[in-house]
Every structure is written in C-alpha cells, then in structure tokens.
Structure 1
Amino acid sequence: MPTSSPRIINMGCRLNLAEGESIRALLAGRDTIVVNSCAVTNEAVKQTRQAIRRARREQPGAELVVTGCAAQIDPASFAAMPEVDRVIGNAEKLRAQAWETSEAILVQDIMAVRETAPHLAASFSTHARAFVEVQNGCDHRCTFCAIPYGRGNSRSVPAGAVIDRITALAESHAEIVLTGVDLTSYGPDLPGAPSLGQLVERILVHVPRLRRLRLSSLDGVEIDDRLFALLTREPRLQPHVHLSLQAGDDMVLKRMKRRHSRADSVALVERLKAARPGIAIGTDLIAGFPTETEAMFANTLALLDDCDVVHPHIFPYSPRAGTPAARMPQVAPEVVKARAARLRDAAGARRSRWLQSLIGSEQQVLVERPGDRGHAGNFAEVRLAPAQVGDIVTVTIKTVEDGKLIA
C-alpha cells in the first residue's frame, strides 16, 4: 500500500514518540518507512525486528530506514536485514542532511555528542497531547541498562528553546508532556545549571495558555524541594508521577547500581500522597534480576502496596550484552517469567481497586482520537460520550469496564 507521506513506527519510550514527529516533518512527502527502534530489553529488540519485517510486507516499494537505540547500539545487524535499506543513528536522525545521503549505515559515536539541539517537533497533528524533548542521554550506569550506549551522555535543551516550542504547541494542544532519557538530570550542562524544577517554573510562567503539563519518568533521588512543591501544589502540573524504582529490595538495588534505597522510595511516595492525596503513582519494576532470591522478590512485590502503585510497568529481567548484570549469576528463565507474572497479577489487582475507587468522582479528561476516549489528570483512561478531540471535558465516572473508567 504505497503512500505519499512518511510512516513512522515508534517503538518504546515517549522520547522516541517526540523524535518521531520531528522525523515526520523532515521527511514530508517521501514514501519512506522509519522504524524508530528500542533497546531497553531483548524483547524490545525482537519486537523492532518484527515491526521491520511486517512493515516491508505491507509496503514493499517504500524506502525502509531503521533508527533509534537498537540501531545505534548494533547498526550492522539491522543493516544486514534484507528488508532494511539504511540505518541512521540517534544523533543523525534529527538532522535533515542525514536523510539526503545514501549511506547504508550513518551512525556516529553517540558518546561524542555533547548537545541536544532544539530539534523539537512543531506539530503533533496525530496526537491530542504533544511531547517535548528537553533532555537526552544518561550519565548513570545502572548495571542492567544498555540505553546510555544508545543515547550517549546526559545533555539538555536550553530553556528558551523549550519555551518557544511549547508556546507554539500550546496554540493547538491542551497538554504537553516533557520527555527525556533521564529527565530529572536536566540542566547541569547548561549555563547557570538550572534544575528541572526551574525549567517547569519558567514554562508555567511564560506559557500561561498551557492548560496541562505532565512529566515523564522521574528519578526520585533527584526530586528536589522546588520540583516536589510543583508536583504537589501546581494545578496545571498533572497529579501523576512515574517513578523509576526498578526494585523493592535493597540488595537488588545495590547490585543494579541504583542510587536510592527501598526506604527512600516509600518515604517519597508517602510525602507526595500526604501533600497531594489524589496523585497517582506509576513505576517500572524488574522481575528476576540476577541473584534475586524469593525473599528479595517478595520485597519488590510488597513495594506495590507500600508505594501505592496504580500505573505499573512490569518487565522480566532481560540480559543485555555488554552490561555488568549480564555477567552476574542469572535467575532461571522460568522463575523470571513466573515472578513477572506474579507482579503483573498483583499490580493489576491494585489498579482495579483504584479504578473502582474513582466511581462517582469528577475527572478532567483530555479527549483523544477518535473522540470517545481520553485520559484524566491522574492518567486513568476514560471512555466517554463523543467530544471534540483535544478538548478538556469534565465528566462523572459511572463504572469500570475492561480496566477503563466509563463516564
């Protein structure tokens, strides 16, 4: 099915979604498929390859380019796929000249990249909310994670460029989501070393038209007093915090090379909930990390309750080549799978109880395509009577069906 416009297939994180819109603008009018890959787990890489093969079957005549983290880390393996025409790196994919060359592999050393230019998408015509990249890369080296090798070191977009882009996007989007690889590390590389809290303050002051602001994943140890106050007191900052916790056992956290303890996580959530009771907590949790015993796993399982998690992202541990954790004593695959299932079941039950507790409440919902659904400020999905996409409507929740609120 040939097309006169690019097809962007974004795998993985919201940062890829934001960058995918920039790529769409660069390729306007071209019959090109771009698979914007993910490398967070082996399963994500597998799904990227499946998406490549499926896209080639669906559009056999289109140019097919692979970019993103998996392509950055292992460009040769993707270039060797018969379905792939070109491989472009994470830094290059946002530069117009990269899309005008014919090189089969155009991938530079991501660790040499020192800046994140204001290459922010000017339009998110296919989305009710807009995603704005304010930070890229990561200076931390968690033992399980390959993403720094796909994204490079941490670097930030200057506040002025961010505010200019959000000012433009706020004309057509009621909600903006700030994205990054390690969002809370925003700023130290910029003049004056501004913090994420300072950036958020500037956005709220200088873009009064913006109705809703949401933050992607946060590292709890980097939530300072300024950002905490905004998360708990600022009505335009949505009552939804996604924390990068990863585990609920101190020994596992230490072996992951995380910078927080279990007690830190619990205390942070208790403070957030005390200051803003309706705030909804999300997190990523890894099941079956190397050396994890049943007792260690039980601590992670209990963290769901202790941190009141209602937006869970559960991952079975996946050994990524070249990472320290891949060289640690591994948990048996069948045990990893079973523990992930137990976490998902427990998390699903908690989420169901939370959704039930919202029956009878009023929610402010951003209407998303096709017009009969959207997300509340707490990021619960809501089904509602047809309304204008992009509007924010007030609804009363009547019931819950299939894990969604019904207005």
Structure 2
Amino acid sequence: MEQKKLSQKKTVSFITLGCKVNQYDSDAMRTLFVRNGYSPAEGDDADVYVINTCSVTSVGDRKSRQMVRRIRRAHPDAIIAVAGCYAQLAPEVFEKMGDVDVIVGHQNRTHIVEYVEKARTAEQPLNEVVDIMKVKDFENMEVDPEGEIKTRAFIKVQEGCDNYCTFCIIPYARGKLKSRKQEDAVSEIRKLVARGYREVVLTGIHLGNYGKDLHDGTSLSSLVAELVKIPELLRIRLGSIESVELSEELIRIIQNEPKVCRHLHLPIQSGSDSVLKGMNRHYRLAKYKALIAELRDKIPGLALTTDLIVGFPGETEENFKETLETLKEIRFSGIHVFPYSQRTGTPAATYPDQVSNEVKKERVHRVQELEKGIAKDYRDQFLGKVVHVLAEEVKNGWYEGLTDEYIRVTIRSEGVERGIMYPVRITAITEEGMAGKIENQELEIRN
C-alpha cells in the first residue's frame, strides 16, 4: 500500500450509517480528531474519511461497502477508516476490498487517530478489531461539539446486549452489556449544558438495563434523578427501552418530574404471541398490554411509540392480522416498521418458512397505512391546546421544535429564540406534525 499524502491542514470527514448510537460514536471520534489537530472538512474533500458502518440489516452491509467504494473512487489519496457494527462483524470483508486503511469495529476507537497516523506508512490495512465478546468495560468517550451549538444532544450511556433475540445481530457486533459510569455521563452532560444544550436524549443498545453490570446501585432511574438537578437542562428524553425493564422507580420519576419527557419508546416487534416466542422476546402480549394500561393510568397524556418487525420466519397472514389488531388496540402515536432481514449468524436466519420479500414489503405498507391514520388521530387531540415546544432550528423561515410527546411543531410566531421553551397553542395539524403560535409572546417557560 503506497504512502498516503497529508495536506498542510489536516481534515477529517465522517459518514455515519445506522442508529443514533452510531451517531454518538461518530461525534465522539470526531472530537478525538479535533483534539489532535484535525479540522472537520468543509465540502467533500478531506484527508481522512471515517465511515461508521451499520449491520442491523443486509441493506446496511451493502450501503457500508458502497460508501467505501464511492469515497475511494472520489478520493484515491485519502485515508479511509471503518468503524461500527459491520466493521466489527466482518473485518475481513474490508481487508479484502483493498480500499480501507484502518478497521476498528466497536473497541479501541479511543486510539483511532493514532491508527490513522500509523496507516499513512503501513503497507497493509490496519485491522484493530478485537473479540468484542471478551470486552467487559464501557469504552468511555465524550462529545465536545464544534461549530454551531444545537439544542438537543444524544448521550450514549450503555453498550451491548445480553438478550439475544433470534433475529438480531447486534449482540454479536456490540458484545455484552456494558454501562458507562454515572459520574462520567453526568460530567459530559453538564459540559454540554454549559455550552448551550437544553435537552439530552439518553441512548444505548439496551438502555433499560443500564447500570446492572456495575453492581453499585446505578440504574437508569438513578441517572435520571441526578440529571434533573442540573438547573439549565430543560428536558431529559429517554431512548428505546424494553418494556420488561421499565422499573417502578423510573415510572414514578416520569410521573413527578416535569423535565422528563412524557414519551416512551417501547419496542413490541410483533403483535402475535407465537411470533414473539420465535423471536425469543422476553414478554407476551398480555404482559405488554397490562404495562401500557398501567402507564396510561399513571401518566395521563403519555406518548407511546414502538418498533415492529414484519415477515419474521413463519409469520402467517393470520399472525400478521393479529399484529394489526394489536396495533389498533394499543394505538401507538408512532410506529417504526421494518421488514425482517435475514442475518447470517443469527438463529432465525436458519429457520424454515422464510417469508418472501414481496410479502414483507406488502405487510410493511399495510402497517404504514394503519400507522398514518392512528398518528393523525393522535395529533388531532392537540388542536386548540397549548403544548410546550423547545425551539431547535429554522426551517422554511419558522422555528421548529419538539413537544414532550415527540411531535414536531412549527412555531409561526416572530421573535423566537433557539433553546427556549415556549407555550404554543396548536392551530393546525400538518402531514408530519403540528403548527401553532406562542400563547403569550412575553412568557418564556424555563429559559
């Protein structure tokens, strides 16, 4: 491999595929580059490209390979590093491609700048991937945002998963449950709030089990309880949580702490017990529905969203209709629906009765049509009411932001400032969200 040239001004560009956890990992690695003298590239020309790959579906694998080839064709002299799930699971694929200089997976990312510098004179790709199943400790990184400060920050506090759902490749890519020390998470969040961030979204691969591996009393509820003490932090939003891991203490905090968003994302994955059993999900519909009823009773106005997989091996039309009926009964305010993806190395990949792509596509469409109507009905209840909107960004000339319930609202009022929570009376329901005007221009809630 010939030596890579370095311009006088070292620049780096990140391409992130996949989930919000990957986005946090990219932001943290970008921080390491900046601290080591690199500048984020302006435009599409950099000395170093870091591609944070995804492998949750076969589409993610393909997109990751395509991105590597596209960057190499456009920038033959650049250093290309790959990280993330696909790099962790299949480093040999990237070695054989001949287009990649550094492979790091999901560990040793704190050394990525060192690897990139070393790769400039290396004759072969540097494969720094380790056996992730042997890694016990959370790799602590933090984000130091450069450039324009935003309002909402995603904070990763947990890594790995011990559930081993039969369809999921992620436990093999990210390893066992690992939690970030609470003091490290709180320290990073305090720094971001001091920089002007007003909302944090706690994320992880298995967020509800945060703290269980630390054996010191740390839990998701203890972390949230500590965060509500930060004066200028206006909102704490929780990422995806498994229903069976929602503790009574966390429910109580959501009930009683105005800073904690009244929105929970509880993956259901299927509305059929027989499919849930095949998936190795650790609950059945009766328990899931009972939890939903309890939550709605204890936290009036709570928004509930979910993830759903259709076309799991053996899912019959009758099973799918059960799912549709379950969705009609629960009436989530939002549904992220995915066709089942056959992942080599997972038990479900070898199951008989694989569902055709045509059927999966048709089932996705039917769920999307159902969800569209239910979500619109949910938003309709806010017409004429006042909601609290944290102003985030300008789009089409007006500020937009999110409600507690994770609904995007266009604030059609003058004089709006980013990072301030406004009372907004909803005057219109839009295709994807809502619009309204500030109820009292002089009233700024929690600024």
- Normalised by the length of structure 2, the TM-score is 0.85
- Structure 1 window deviating more from structure 2 (153-162 vs 34-43): it is 34-43
Aligned to 1:338: 362
Equivalent position amino acid for 2:400 in 1: R
Aligned to 1:14: 20
Aligned to 2:118: 101
Aligned to 1:122: 144
Q: Is the 8 A contact 2:79 2:116 kept in 1?
A: no
Inter-CA distance 118–336: structure 2 relative to 1 (3 Å threshold): same
- 1:237 pairs with 2:260: yes
Q: Is the 8 A contact 2:107 2:132 kept in 1?
A: yes
Q: Kindly provide the CA deviation profile for residues 208-261 of structure 1, in whole angstroms up to 9, marking residues without a partner as x.
A: 332100110001101111011122332111011001211111111111001011
Q: Is the 8 A contact 1:93 1:99 kept in 2?
A: no
Q: Is the 8 A contact 1:365 1:392 kept in 2?
A: yes
Equivalent position amino acid for 1:374 in 2: G
- 1:373 pairs with 2:390: no
Inter-CA distance 373–184: structure 2 relative to 1 (3 Å threshold): same
**1:55, CA displacement in angstroms?**
4.2
Name the CA distance, whole Å, in 1 between partners of 2:359 and 2:303. 30
Name the CA distance, whole Å, in 1 between partners of 2:303 and 2:226. 24
Name the CA distance, whole Å, in 1 between partners of 2:135 and 2:53. 19
Equivalent position amino acid for 1:201 in 2: A
**1:199, CA displacement in angstroms?**
1.9
Name the CA distance, whole Å, in 2 between partners of 1:230 and 1:139. 26
Inter-CA distance 280–33: structure 2 relative to 1 (3 Å threshold): same
Name the CA distance, whole Å, in 2 between partners of 1:92 and 1:350. 44
Inter-CA distance 83–352: structure 2 relative to 1 (3 Å threshold): farther
Name the CA distance, whole Å, in 1 between partners of 2:71 and 2:255. 43
- Structure 1 window deviating more from structure 2 (313-322 vs 71-80): it is 71-80
Secondary structure (helix, strand or coil) at the match of 1:245 reads coil
Name the CA distance, whole Å, in 1 between partners of 2:305 and 2:15. 25
Larger radius of gyration between Structure 1 and Structure 2: 2
Inter-CA distance 239–57: structure 2 relative to 1 (3 Å threshold): farther
Q: Is the 8 A contact 1:92 1:98 kept in 2?
A: no
Aligned to 2:43: none
- 1:180 pairs with 2:209: no
**1:165, CA displacement in angstroms?**
1.3
> Structure 1 regions of 5+ residues with no counterpart?
none
Secondary structure (helix, strand or coil) at the match of 2:266 reads strand
Q: Kindly provide the CA deviation profile for residues 17-64 of structure 1, in whole angstroms up to 9, marking residues without a partner as x.
A: 111111111112253222211111112222333443444566555322
- Structure 1 window deviating more from structure 2 (288-297 vs 42-51): it is 42-51
Equivalent position amino acid for 1:101 in 2: K
Secondary structure (helix, strand or coil) at the match of 1:365 reads strand
**1:69, CA displacement in angstroms?**
0.7
- Normalised by the length of structure 1, the TM-score is 0.93
Name the CA distance, whole Å, in 1 between partners of 2:253 and 2:133. 33
Equivalent position amino acid for 1:9 in 2: I
Percent identity among equivalent residues? 35
**1:368, CA displacement in angstroms?**
2.4
Secondary structure (helix, strand or coil) at the match of 1:170 reads helix
Aligned to 1:402: 431
**1:168, CA displacement in angstroms?**
1.2
- 1:196 pairs with 2:220: yes
> Structure 2 regions of 5+ residues with no counterpart?
1-6, 40-46, 120-124, 437-447
Name the CA distance, whole Å, in 1 between partners of 2:57 and 2:110. 24
Inter-CA distance 55–201: structure 2 relative to 1 (3 Å threshold): same
Equivalent position amino acid for 2:88 in 1: Q
Name the CA distance, whole Å, in 1 between partners of 2:358 and 2:347. 22
**1:4, CA displacement in angstroms?**
5.5
Name the CA distance, whole Å, in 2 between partners of 1:108 and 1:217. 27
Q: Is the 8 A contact 1:118 1:162 kept in 2?
A: no
**1:401, CA displacement in angstroms?**
2.6
Name the CA distance, whole Å, in 2 between partners of 1:147 and 1:101. 30
Aligned to 1:389: 418
Q: Is the 8 A contact 1:89 1:107 kept in 2?
A: yes
Aligned to 2:444: none
Name the CA distance, whole Å, in 2 between partners of 1:46 and 1:384. 39
Q: Is the 8 A contact 1:19 1:94 kept in 2?
A: no
Secondary structure (helix, strand or coil) at the match of 1:7 reads strand
Secondary structure (helix, strand or coil) at the match of 2:260 reads coil
Q: Paired residue for 1:68, among 84, 91, 111?
A: 84
For residues 283-302 of structure 1, the aligned pairs below 5 Å read 283-302=306-325
Q: Is the 8 A contact 2:102 2:115 kept in 1?
A: no
